[in-house]
Structure 1
Amino acid sequence: MALSKWVAVIGMLAFGTVSSIMSKVNFEVRGVNLNGKVVPFHKPWFCVLVMFVGMSGCLLLFVGSLVSPLLARPAKAKESRKYKKLMTDNPSLGGEENAYLQALIDNTEPSEEQEPEGGSRGCTWGSCLGMLMIAIPSAFDLVATVLMSIGLLYVTVSIYQMMRGAELVFAAIFSVLFLGKKLYKLHYVGIACAVVGISMVGIASILSPEQNDTGTKAQQVIGISLIVLSQAIQAGQICFEEHFMKSLDFMKPTLVVGLEGLYGTLLQCLLVLPVAQILPGDDVGGKLENTKDSLHMIFDTKDHIILITLVFTAFIMLFYNVLGMQVTGHLGALFRAILETTRTLLAWLVGLGMYYGNVTLYGEPLGESWNDYSYLQAAGFVILVSGTLIYGMGDEKAREDASGAESENIVIAAGSTEAIDIGGIPATEPIATSFTPTSARRNAYYDFSTAAASVGSIPTGSLLARSLANSRQGSFVRNG
């Protein structure tokens, strides 16, 4: 158990760091377009499709968790019969031996009353409708991911990762406006630090010299703005899940992630890419993004480098999802949040190492250089992380107050005949529950799995957070 736990930690850091680098490399690899020109694969909309395909791979793992107990059942039944025969053929066995054999029988004999290994409560109308509702947060994911993908075209990987800390600010605001959450002084201090840190990182990006893999100053401003806007959308997604999807917390994390991937793939193929094919833009044929040209570049380029990098990215996302859920199940969301911060730092260090290690693609350096404004970026990152940790301290305060209020109301209720709310807290008072607003999404490529660039824990109200919590004893996390 300990070995698998730390293997998951190391694997999550490794796959997460590689995915951050690959998210930029995918835009830099080149292929031959429909006009016969060799151009970079600047196809953010298609790369979003790859992300959702990678997410949907979790459905295979979920199906495997359902099928594997069924396949093992005949072998278990055979073992049970063997132990029963041993007890029958040896009536002189002592009490300890019989007790041991009976324990073996109980362990191998399938129980009809057991909950299905997949973790569901049966496909009732309500649960099926709930699974269909996952299409709504998938649509949130889709819009946010497209915006982030376009923004990534114009900024470095480290800036992209760090700017995603803006989600904390928006999720805190939305949790107050729409969910009636209560923020403490520590929350406000954390938010203020996050705003200062994000601002410093953004200013450092704009003032830094242009690099080969970034856009012009104006394009960088647009890219940063799109990334920040995407975080507002993801914060809205968290609020939606907490308010409308509490009944789905019984679902396995692999099922939640897989369904979002499946719905996202369908939305991309049936709606988004066809619309991008119609809207005007700078791609081949004057389109916003020409899907026919994307497929041509992927399959008709002689070295198939684009196909290789995209398939590689999809598998990285799948492995990162699995390892991330294992880490959260074993060590908790806060530990995973710390790993996410470490991953952001590692991605920056790897980028610097690639640049100064003369790692090139088509004769141009990969990674990013260190300049005078990198000190400002580093300081902003430290302040952003500090703000997140301070915000987490506010969450701890909220949990303590909520626990104390509940205990007090239980004591009062024990000596009173007056009816109180089920939660033990009067409905007219705001409940001081914690809400750590960092994305609880799914993948490494666009980092929907948990804390984004910096931080906090998985939002306590999000669907994935609740399913992960309920899966601590479930087959998926248990077998990790």
Structure 2
Amino acid sequence: MTNRSLIPVLVTMMLVTGVCNTILNKYQDLQCVRNCDSPDPKARMYFEQPVIQTVQMFIGEMGCWIVVLLSYVYRRFTASRRPAPLLAGGYRRVRNDDMDDTTSIEDEDQTLVDSDDPASKPLLATEDGRQYLRGWKVFYLAAPACCDITATTLMNVGLLLVAASIYQMTRGAVVLFVGLFSVLFLHRRLYLYKWLGLFLVMLGVGLVGLAGALFGGDQKHGLPDGDVSAEESVAPDAVRAIIGVLLIAFAQIFTASQFVLEEWILERYAMDPLNVVGWEGIFGFLVTVTAQIILHLAIGRTEAGRYGYFDAIEGWRQVFTNGEVALASIFIMISIGGFNFFGISVTRAVSATSRSTIDTSRTLFIWLVSLALGWETFKWLQVVGFAILVYGTFLFNDIVRPPLKACLPETATPPNRERRLSVASVEHI
């Protein structure tokens, strides 16, 4: 069990790493990588490599294996320093001559060890009857990883077109699709107040998107002030904002599919959440790199695809030759790994519902940081949309009571049960 005094530290680090991840991705998008000294702003090229940013995310997820390895080494070290267990009669076992130096008494007789390590019980199931996810069945996690690839790449493209706060707020639409898919595929039952929460989430996302369209000219997407006139920039930026919001909202279909797939898998099989994140990182990295090579050969190396999203050689050249982009990549990988780790720790120490509440507040901090950096201006419509979005999310997660008694189920109060942790709920970006 986590020490209760550490919970504020875990919550703080979850917020810090989550905010840093989105801000760093946006900062990376704003870096000029080619023709930066050109007097013509249209000739300058900025870092627009959503596929590479997806690869960075999966590398960060694979970093969870470092924590798993350190935890394993720590358990082995502490186990080797424990005294041998007492047997009947009050004496301790002695080592046999045929035992090598790497074999402990605990390894010789597993019946004397009270171990809660699933790896030491390969033939046993959990208390709720689930089998441990191991062997070839680990490849089940490749399905949600592929959904994560599609969702993350689309969101990275959307982040190129909108402000960081609008990007984060629009991601709140995932609640709607998770609710719908849970009803359709997992046969969950949603009460009226939860449908009301989903409606409010969509209303909030719509207002946020409208704010981006109406005030698109106020957002900075890499062009310094004075490069283009207001008349030339407002309309294109408004169109860009609408396209960006639609891409991010559409990506939530795949994010919700990932959530539902992982919940379906983890209802039947047991695995430590940190291991799930690590395996998804491996599968996602392999699939993304393979797809990137194929797309580069088919599109990226052509004249039409040169310098585009699928030009892998140019993209990786930009990463390794531009200091700001390379440094941002390192911090992005660290922040996403840290966000996953601290997020899981918060879920275990407090609850999944509390974590969803904390993660919602991350949007507010991203907005404040963006305002402080001058990446966007204050828009009252965006604040209204955010407030409705937060209220809808809280209502769906049973954090606030429904406004009308008619919305409550017949059993009176809404269930405030703890949901089983679905590692799909781990935020990536």
What TM-score does the superposition give when structure 2 sets the normalisation length?
0.77
* Higher mean C-alpha displacement, 231-240 vs 125-134: 125-134
In 2, Cα distance between the equivalents of 1:438 and 1:399?
26
Residue equivalent to 2:103: none
Please name the residue that 2:201 is paired with.
Answer: 194
Of 362, 372, 377, the residue aligned with 1:369 is: 377
Alignment correspondent of 1:381 = 386
Deviation readout 1:375-420 (Å, 9 max, x if unpaired): 111111111111122222399999998999xxxxxxxxxxxxxxxx
Tell me how far 1:206 sits from its aligned partner: 0.5
**2:329 maps to which of 310, 316, 328:** 310
Instruction: Say yes or no: does 1:289 pair with 2:333.
Output: no
Code of the aligned partner of 2:274: T
Pairwise mapping of residues 245-324 of structure 1 onto structure 2 (< 5 A)?
A: 245-248=266-269, 250-279=270-299, 285=306, 287-301=308-322, 304-324=323-343
What's the counterpart of residue 332 of structure 1? 351
Instruction: After TM superposition, list the pairs within 5 Å mapping 1:47-446 onto structure 2.
Output: 47-77=53-83, 112-115=112-115, 117=117, 121-122=121-122, 127-210=134-217, 211-213=219-221, 216-248=237-269, 250-279=270-299, 285=306, 287-301=308-322, 304-355=323-374, 367-370=375-378, 374-393=379-398, 440-444=424-428, 446=429
SS across alignment from 2:117 = coil
* Structure 2 residue identity aligned to 1:212: K
Quote how far apart the aligned CAs of 1:344 are: 0.6
- Counterpart residue number, 2:97: none
Whole-Å separation in 2 of the counterparts to 1:380 and 1:3: 35
Q: What is residue 101 of structure 1 aligned with on the other side?
A: none
SS at 2:281's partner residue? helix
Per-residue deviation, 1:272: 3.6
| 1:134 match: secondary structure | helix
C-alpha change, 1:194 and 1:165, in structure 2 (3 Å) is same
| 8 Å contact kept, 2:164–2:366 | yes
CA pair 434-2 structure 1, distance change in 2 beyond 3 A: closer
Q: CA deviation at 1:347?
A: 0.8
Matched to 1:14, the amino acid is V
> Comparing 280-289 with 132-141, which one deviates more in the overlay?
280-289
Cα distance in 2, alignment partners of residues 22 and 282 from structure 1:
31
SS of match in other structure, 1:180? coil
Deviation at residue 245 of structure 1 after TM alignment: 4.4
Paired residue type of 1:145: T
The residue type equivalent to 2:263 in the other structure is: E
**DSSP 3-state at the match of 2:83:** helix
Deviation at 1:157, TM superposition (A): 0.7
Tell me the alpha carbon deviations over residues 268-293 of structure 1, each in whole angstroms, 9 at most, x when there is no partner: 11224432552369986265421111
What amino acid does structure 2 have at the position aligned with 1:384? L
Question: CA separation in 1, counterparts of 2:111 and 2:118?
Answer: 15
Return the offset for 1:300: 2.7
Deviations 1:128-181 (CA, angstroms, capped at 9, x unpaired):
233111111100101111111111110001111111111111122222222222
Gaps of 5+ in 2: 93-105, 124-130, 223-235
Residues 40 and 394 of structure 1, relative CA distance in 2, 3 Å threshold: closer
Q: CA separation in 1, counterparts of 2:330 and 2:154?
A: 22
Q: For the residues of structure 2 that align with 1:218 and 1:317, how far apart are their CA atoms?
A: 30
Deviation at 1:39, TM superposition (A): 3.0
Unpaired runs of 5+ in structure 1?
87-105, 356-366, 405-432, 447-480
Tell me how far apart the structure 2 counterparts of residues 63 and 28 of structure 1 sit (CA, whole Å): 36
CA pair 286-293 structure 1, distance change in 2 beyond 3 A: closer
Query: What RMSD over aligned residues (CA atoms) do the two structures have, in Å?
Result: 3.7
- Call closer, same or farther: CA 1:278–1:395 in 2, change over 3 Å: farther
Which residue number in structure 2 is paired with residue 6 of structure 1? 8
C-alpha distance in structure 1 between counterparts of 2:352 and 2:172, whole Å: 16
**Using the alignment, how far apart are the partners of 2:313 and 2:304 within structure 1?**
11
TM-score, scaled to structure 1: 0.69
Paired residue secondary structure (1:182): coil
1:299–1:307 Cα contact (<8 Å) kept: yes
* Residue-by-residue CA offset, 1:356-389 (whole Å, 9 max, x unaligned): xxxxxxxxxxx2122xxx1111111111111122
Shift of 1:12: 1.2
Q: C-alpha offsets along residues 163-202 of structure 1, whole Å, 9 cap, x if unaligned?
A: 1111111122222222222221101211221121111111
Match of 1:419 in 2: none
Query: What is the count of residue pairs matched by the alignment?
Result: 375
Change (3 A) 1:272 1:300: closer
> Residue 25 of structure 1: SS of its match in structure 2?
helix
Distance 1:353 1:314 in 2: 24
Alpha-carbon distance, 1:25 to partner: 0.6
The verdict on how the C-alpha distance between 1:258 and 1:438 changes in structure 2, with shifts beyond 3 A counting, is closer
Amino acid in structure 2 at the alignment position of 1:268: T
Q: Which amino acid aligns with 1:73?
A: A
The match for 2:226 is none
Q: In the aligned structure 2, how far is the partner of 1:231 from the partner of 1:326? A: 24
Paired amino acid for 2:382: Q
For residue 243 of structure 1, what is the amino acid of its counterpart?
A: W
Deviation of 1:110 (Å): 9.3
> Counterpart amino acid of 2:386?
F
**Residue identity opposite 1:292 in structure 2:** I
1:236-280 Cα offsets, whole Å, 9 max, x none, are 2222233344222x2111100000011111111122443255236
Deviations 1:207-231, CA, capped at 9 Å, x for gaps: 1042221762222222111111111
